[in-house]
């Protein structure tokens, strides 16, 4: 499955793209039973961004594949990195309960030399109501 990309419309700016993919399915390699997960993709693009339709088709391609949670999370991240070469990317896979155990797998990539800018906290500057 080919992951399509498009040029980053603002390559000079660090900005955060967040995607939630609530219908991820693969097969347990031991039992062949379906495993369900919600994937959370967070990335800061470099020169390219992920095209959403191709991402959807790529994700759906796992429905008939057997994979351990740890392996499939890292494989998906590796494929996304190869396609986009992001400044930063994190994939969080939250698998639903199986045998009384929830599994969360978090895998990250950081481009060599890239450092995030400090977080700006504006919560202390929230407007105060003048109504008494």
Q: Which of 12, 14, 28, 78 is catalytic?
A: 28
Q: Which of 35, 42, 78, 121 is catalytic?
A: 35
Residue 44, Cβ neighbours under 10 Å: how many?
20
SS3 category, 12 = coil
Contacts by residues 105-108 (CB-CB < 8 Å, ≥ 24 positions apart): 105/69, 105/70, 105/73, 105/74, 106/73, 107/73, 107/74, 107/77, 108/77
Nearest to 103 by CA among 72, 78, 62: 72
Q: Which residues contact 68 (CB under 8 A, 6 or more apart)?
A: 29
28 is catalytic: yes
Catalytic residue set:
28, 35
């Amino acid at each position: 499955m080919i992951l399509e990309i498009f040029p980053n419309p603002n390559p000079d700016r660090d900005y955060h793209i967040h995607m939630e993919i609530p219908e991820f399915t693969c097969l347990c390699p031991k039992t062949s039973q379906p495993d369900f997960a919600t994937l959370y993709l967070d990335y800061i693009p470099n020169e390219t961004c992920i095209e959403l339709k191709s991402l959807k088709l790529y994700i759906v391609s796992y429905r008939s594949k057997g994979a351990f949670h740890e392996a499939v999370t890292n494989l998906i991240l590796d494929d996304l990195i190869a396609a986009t070469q992001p400044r930063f990317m994190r994939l969080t896979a939250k698998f639903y309960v199986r045998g009384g155990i929830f599994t969360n797998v978090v895998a990250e990539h950081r481009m060599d030399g890239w450092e995030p800018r400090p977080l700006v906290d504006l919560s202390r500057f929230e407007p105060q109501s003048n109504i008494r």
